[in-house]
Amino acid sequence: MARRRTIVTDYLARVEGEGAMTVKLVGDKVEHVELRIFEPPRFFEAFLRGRSFLESPDITARICGICPVAYQTSAVNAMESLCGVEVPEPIRQLRRLLYFGEWIESHALHVYMLHAPDFLGYESAIELARDAPAAVERGLALKRTGNDVMTLVGGREIHPINVRVGGFYRTPSKRELRTLAAPLERALEAARETVRWTAGFEFPERTVECDLVALAQPDAYAIENGRIVSSGGLDLAPAEYEEHFEELHVERSNALQSQLRGGGTYLCGPLARYTLASDRLSPGAREAAAAAGLGSECRDPFRSIVVRSVELVHACEESLRLIEAYEEPDAPFVEVEPVAGTGYGVSEAPRGLLYHRYRIDAEGTILEAKIVPPTSQNQLAIEDDLRDVVTRNTSLDDDALRGLCEQTIRNYDPCISCATHFLELDVERK
């Protein structure tokens, strides 16, 4: 009779939020793989109803302390497109700069504090710091620079207070922004070093075959807005998203899972962005990627740490360019008058596509809200990958297998706080 095994991890560490995983094995056969999200629901979409359309950026920011700018940006995009407002170019560029600050902060956090310990055999970056203080200090310095960008442009690094529908409350002077140039130059060097460092880790060979979905802009590596494109050939306006993607509610999870309508797993985030648009990265990022041995595409979840590092180079280089080119706008914001109807907003959170939809009335009161965070979209892809990784590694003992499963999950940098509207690791062998 086939041996039935059960391996349990109740609470996944080094991910954002609370979640668990169950893997059931009968002999060498994987019977069941499940990610469970027990982060308690907070009901944002319910209590947004009745609020002003102007409150949405501040309220939705509180869904996630790691990517508040993503929430603020998708929210302002939805409201502005509905109300027929296009913000002036300097304001759009400042939004990009603020968003790059969040990418730098979030990627540095994930690469150094959450993910690198897996590759190097440590339980935490704090432990890693005892043996490799220079690396951890480099990561913290990068992270601090991301925070400095967010603090200057957004007022503070967590839940910035300076973002509003129509622009900003106060825009920085050219001189103020210039103070970021020297730290960003150092961060750029640290980011290049990060690519060299992570490219030297050992990687098991993996490829994921699912569809990849990311935002695209014709002449830029999209971050603050764009059209939704996929490796399967989709090219959609934000308003068309729900015609092609749907959310499912599975038992024992406080998160909803997305799939392509009619079935089909897809992945968004760094691998999708890189594979679909590596030609639009900054010159320094393309150079670093080539030196690290990444081709023009990367479908290897373990190497997502290298892709995040390449995106760090991109974010630093682009931020420097934005600061150099910045011209103060005539006014910090444009007045936005509410228009009854439905607005759609998208942007590229550090973990991938973040979709917002709002229906508002003529007074600007929100009647309905829908938010689809990247981790809900990636959950099925993570489960598929996990099933495959376990299938290929059933000869490992329980501890080693659990470690590999956890690392597989962390490859996706899941943000469980976001997905609860996500993880406990519970590998059950029968």
Partner 1 sequence: MKPTLAVWKFASCDGCQLTILDLEDDLLALTGAIEISDFREATSAVVEGPYDLSLVEGSITTPHDAERIQEIRRNSKALITIGACATSGGIQALRNFADVDEFTRVVYASPQYISTLATSTPISDHVSVDFELRGCPIDKRQLLELVSAFLIGRKPRIPTTSVCTECKRRGVVCVTVAHGTPCLGPVTQAGCGALCPAYNRGCFGCFGPMESPNTSSLIPLLRRLGRSDTDVERLFSTFNAGSEPFRKAAGHG
Annotate each residue in 311-350 with x if it binds partner 1 (CB under 8 A) or - if it does not, as one string. Answer: ---------------------x------------------
Stretch that binds partner 1, among 127-135, 272-280, 342-350, 391-399 (CB under 8 A): 127-135
Q: Which of 93, 81, 88 is nearest to 334 (CA)?
A: 88
Work out whether 264 is an interface residue with partner 1 (CB under 8 A).
no
10, 53, 230, 376, 410 from 380: Cα distances, Å: 20, 32, 17, 8, 14
- Cα separation, 359 vs 61, in Å, equals 19
Q: How many residues bind partner 1 (CB under 8 A)?
A: 69
- Which of 14, 110, 115, 299 is in the footprint of partner 1 by CB under 8 A? 14
392 binds, among ligand SF4, partner 1, none (CB under 5 to 8 A by kind): none
Q: Tokens 């069941």 belong to which residue?
A: 32
Work out whether 149 is an interface residue with partner 1 (CB under 8 A).
no
- Which of 26, 27, 52, 339 is in the footprint of partner 1 by CB under 8 A? 52
CB of 138 or CB of 299, closer to partner 1: 138
Work out whether 65 is an interface residue with ligand SF4 (CB under 6 A).
yes
- Cα separation, 157 vs 151, in Å, equals 5
CB of 248 or CB of 325, closer to partner 1: 248
Work out whether 161 is an interface residue with ligand SF4 (CB under 6 A).
yes
Q: Which residue type occupies 353?
A: L
Annotate each residue in 179-218 with x if it binds ligand SF4 (CB under 6 A) or - if it does not, as one string. Answer: ----------------------------------------
Annotate each residue in 297-316 with x if it binds partner 1 (CB under 8 A) or - if it does not, as one string. Answer: --------------------
372 binds, among partner 1, ligand SF4, none (CB under 5 to 8 A by kind): none
Q: Which helix (H) or strand (E) holds 91?
A: helix 89-108
Work out whether 41 is an interface residue with ligand SF4 (CB under 6 A).
no
Q: Which two tokens stand for residue 168?
A: 């900003």
Q: Which two tokens stand for residue 299?
A: 């479908």
Work out whether 202 is an interface residue with partner 1 (CB under 8 A).
no
Work out whether 124 is an interface residue with partner 1 (CB under 8 A).
yes
Tell the smallest beta-carbon distance from residue 18 to ligand SF4 (Å): 13
> What distance lies between CA 390 and its chain's CA centroid?
25
- Cα separation, 200 vs 241, in Å, equals 38
71, 176, 299, 355 from 224: Cα distances, Å: 11, 22, 23, 12
- Cα separation, 199 vs 104, in Å, equals 18
- Cα separation, 138 vs 143, in Å, equals 9
Specify which residues 4 forms β-bridges with: 26
- Alpha-carbon Rg of the chain, whole angstroms? 21
Work out whether 283 is an interface residue with ligand SF4 (CB under 6 A).
no
Cβ atoms of 78 and 341 within 8 Å: the answer is no
State the maximum Cα–Cα separation within the chain, in Å, rounded to a whole number.
76
113 binds, among ligand SF4, partner 1, none (CB under 5 to 8 A by kind): partner 1
Stretch that binds partner 1, among 10-18, 76-84, 94-102, 381-389 (CB under 8 A): 10-18
CA dihedral 381, 276, 349, 241 (to 10 degrees): -70
Tell the smallest beta-carbon distance from residue 42 to ligand SF4 (Å): 9
List residues near ligand SF4 by CB under 6 A: 62, 65, 159, 161
Interface residues toward partner 1, by CB under 8 A: 11-18, 39-47, 49, 51-52, 55, 58-59, 62-66, 68, 109, 113-114, 117, 123-127, 129, 133, 136-137, 140-141, 143-144, 147, 155-159, 161-162, 169-170, 247-254, 256, 332, 406, 417, 421
